[in-house]
Amino acid sequence: MTHISTFAAEERVFDALLIPICGVLQAVALGIAVFATRDIFVSLHSDAAPQNLSFVVLGCAGILAAGLEAVSRIRAEALGQSYAISLRNRLYMHLSRLPRSSITKKRLGGLALRFVGDLSAARNWFGRGLPRIVSAVIVLPSAGFVFWLLEPQFLLPVVAPIGLSILVSIALIFRLETHHRNLRGRRARIAIDAIERLAMSPELDLMGRTRKERRSMKKNGRLLLENAVARAARVGLVRLTLQAGAALAALLILWTTAVNAIAPGFAAAGLSMIAILMIPLTDLADAWDKYCAWRIAREKLNRIFDLPQQTRKISGLGYAASIRICGAFDGHKLDISVPAGGIAAVTAGNGLDTSRLLAVIAGLDDEPDLDVQFQDRSTALPRIGYIGVEPVVLRGSLRRNLALGTTKRPDDATIDAAAHAFGLGPLMERIGGLDGRIEESGRNLRIGELNRLELARTALTQPDVVVVDSPRLSANTRSKGLVANLHRRLNATILIANRGDAPIEGALDVTPDNATYQRVIIPQGV
């Protein structure tokens, strides 16, 4: 739990205290109900009319216990949801601060499951598992005390079988974790494969792989069925063990009553208490099931939280920043200076990973042997506009996507002007203006429209430095002309990966020379 959000924090403290209090009060109410039941049965057995007070006490105790149970379950659900929300925010914050290379090494579907399956396991444990155990820890010993008050001879016949069943169930849950691990692993593989293949299923069908994919899904589905049945059987065995202990306790109460000539009213009260105890005993089995799921989810979450974060301290300058890059990268010695307001094109060569170099410059990745300074500052980053290989486009309106990254959303007139400045007029006519719907990753946009959208957004964010790694913007003369247009409209320094033969207007190419970068100074005023 070192890396995972603290459980007892903020609003969760109240619920964490309220649930045990409800358990204590519920145990008291159930004890009162047991004694009221005894009085009623004793009166019936002696042919005397039961007192009305006993019926009132029994009814009120039952209503109070039920009400406390409802409050406990409601607050337990709120507790679990609160913890899941906190953990979700903590997880997203940690992922956002990881180097991009750490993210790309993870399967996208696997990361998505951390927000679904693992958080569900956390919610179920803290909302429906742990509170049940707390209530059981309070109710079960209290029940033993009630049996002692009711009839001391009932204590051993009740405690011995129920206690033994709890010990046996604890031994059974160790195998339950293995079943959970197999089940969750199989279910995760199926879900991850589906997430990664759904978007490309038409292309896979065109390649003739639909039948093979279906066979794979069917095979994994059968294995999932086996794992699920094994886990359900183990949970059922744990539940059966606990219920068998309670049933044996009920039998021993009747036997003790017969052997010791105890009044039947005491036996009836004891049996009613056993029936009540079936609830926390069943909850114990379910709680252990949820704990096993949470333990496995916690391991996976901690593997992510163990990944080292990258510190990104961003402090905007409000003007173009000079860039100094020096050190070792991919076996090359780099020594590059780009003055404020310059535009430089980085051309790949001699095994240089241009994309990763630009990611390091943009602060998305980390390279210990490479020092990148902006405006002679070695720590803080200026405001950086990054246009990468994959478009950053969210499902929503065109307005929303153009305003992404702005500290304060501009008015519609400003957004409209930027859109038209980069040639988005035809797109706005096609989708219905700024309110037009854009699909996730810009799936309903043409390549040229994606280029213009990202450049218009960059112009609206007013960055100090722009890093362009998109092949869409460096492959031909027209797209490079759009970058030159951005340079004219911004007071910013621009670095762009040059992947085509066409020159970039106003830019000086930076290329490897004998595996060594020469010091390149781009003149001011370019």
What does the pLDDT look like over 319-328, one tens digit per residue? 888 888 888 8
The pLDDT score that the predictor gives to residue 105 is 75
What does the pLDDT look like over 492-516, one tens digit per residue? 888 888 765 545 554 445 544 432 3
Give me the amino acid identity at 125.
Answer: W
Residue 36 lies in a domain: yes
Does residue 394 share a domain with residue 348?
A: yes
Domain end marker among 306, 341, 373: 306
Does residue 469 share a domain with residue 338?
A: yes
What does the pLDDT look like over 250-295, one tens digit per residue? 899 899 988 888 888 888 888 888 887 888 888 888 888 888 888 8
pLDDT of 76 strictly over 90: no
Residue 232 lies in a domain: no
φ/ψ bin of 446: left (φ > 0), alpha (ψ from -120 to 50), beta (otherwise): beta
Q: Are 3 and 306 in contact (CB under 8 A)?
A: yes
* Selection from 341, 336, 314, 324 nearest residue 486 by Cα: 341
Does residue 495 share a domain with residue 369?
A: yes
pTM: 0.75
The pLDDT score that the predictor gives to residue 518 is 34
Does residue 413 share a domain with residue 289?
A: no
The pLDDT score that the predictor gives to residue 8 is 55
pLDDT of 520 strictly over 50: no
The pLDDT score that the predictor gives to residue 416 is 92
Q: How confident is the model at residue 1 (pLDDT cuts 50, 70, 90)?
A: very low
Q: How confident is the model at residue 6 (pLDDT cuts 50, 70, 90)?
A: low
Q: Which has more confidence, 331 or 152? A: 152
* Selection from 363, 325, 343, 355 nearest residue 470 by Cα: 355
The pLDDT score that the predictor gives to residue 147 is 83
Residue 481 lies in a domain: yes
Residue 314 lies in a domain: no
CATH classification of the domain holding 446: 3.40.50.300
Domain end marker among 306, 332, 364: 306
Does residue 301 share a domain with residue 332?
A: no
Does residue 338 share a domain with residue 456?
A: yes
Residue identified by tokens 């060569």 is 349
Q: Which residues pair with 338 in a beta bridge?
A: 323
Q: Are 448 and 415 in contact (CB under 8 A)?
A: no
The strand ranges marked E within 342-419 are 343-347, 370-374, 384-387, 396-397
Residue 102 lies in a domain: yes
CATH classification of the domain holding 49: 1.20.1560.10
| 252: CB partners within 8 A, 6+ apart | 157, 158, 160, 161
Does residue 345 share a domain with residue 286?
A: no
Does residue 297 share a domain with residue 338?
A: no
Does residue 457 share a domain with residue 371?
A: yes
Does residue 73 share a domain with residue 100?
A: yes
Q: Are 474 and 451 in contact (CB under 8 A)?
A: no
Q: How confident is the model at residue 519 (pLDDT cuts 50, 70, 90)?
A: very low
Q: Are 313 and 382 in contact (CB under 8 A)?
A: no
Residue 271 lies in a domain: yes
Q: How confident is the model at residue 481 (pLDDT cuts 50, 70, 90)?
A: confident
| 505: CB partners within 8 A, 6+ apart | 480, 481, 484, 487
Does residue 493 share a domain with residue 372?
A: yes
Q: Which has more confidence, 524 or 374? A: 374
The pLDDT score that the predictor gives to residue 200 is 81
What range defines the domain where residue 490 resides?
Answer: 323-510
Q: How confident is the model at residue 453 (pLDDT cuts 50, 70, 90)?
A: very high
Residue 375 lies in a domain: yes
pLDDT of 192 strictly over 90: no
Q: What is the mean pLDDT of residues 163-176?
A: 86
Does residue 503 share a domain with residue 367?
A: yes
Number of domains in the chain: 2
Q: What is the mean pLDDT of residues 418-426?
A: 90
What does the pLDDT look like over 20-49, one tens digit per residue? 888 788 878 887 888 888 778 777 777 666
Residue 394 lies in a domain: yes
DSSP class of residue 4?
S
